[in-house]
């Protein structure tokens, strides 16, 4: 939901579409490397929501099983931190 994807969408290009434009190419390079070589990866970025809110995002993952032809997998964990702003009772991600 926070990535803004429809239920049937799950491609990497679709995934990074909502990321901060300045960071997309670097994150795409990380995913491309992970898709061709067994590796670990980690990145942080910001999802820019349609309503103007900015949601921080951390991702840690790894790829494996790429030694066999036409096989392999990529797994990862997305972390969406929420911060309580000083002097308020709300948790927010707006910058």
| pTM across the whole model | 0.74
Side-chain-side CA neighbours of residue 26 (13 Å): 10
Band (67; pLDDT cuts 50, 70, 90):
confident
- Which residue has tokens 């991600």? 93
| More confident site: 84 or 93 | 84
Number of other residues whose CB lies within 10 A of the CB of residue 15: 18
Locus of tokens 């309580």 = 84
- What pLDDT does 40 receive? 93
Structural contact between residues 61 and 32, judged by C-beta atoms closer than 8 angstroms: no
């Amino acid at each position: 939901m926070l990535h803004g994807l429809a239920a049937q969408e799950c491609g990497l290009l679709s995934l990074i579409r909502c990321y901060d434009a300045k960071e997309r190419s670097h994150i795409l390079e990380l995913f491309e490397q992970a898709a061709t070589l067994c590796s670990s990866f980690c990145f942080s970025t910001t999802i820019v929501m349609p309503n103007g809110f900015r949601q921080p995002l951390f991702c840690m993952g790894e790829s494996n099983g790429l030694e066999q032809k036409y096989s392999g997998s990529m797994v990862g964990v997305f972390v969406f931190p929420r911060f309580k702003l000083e002097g308020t009772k709300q948790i927010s991600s707006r910058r």
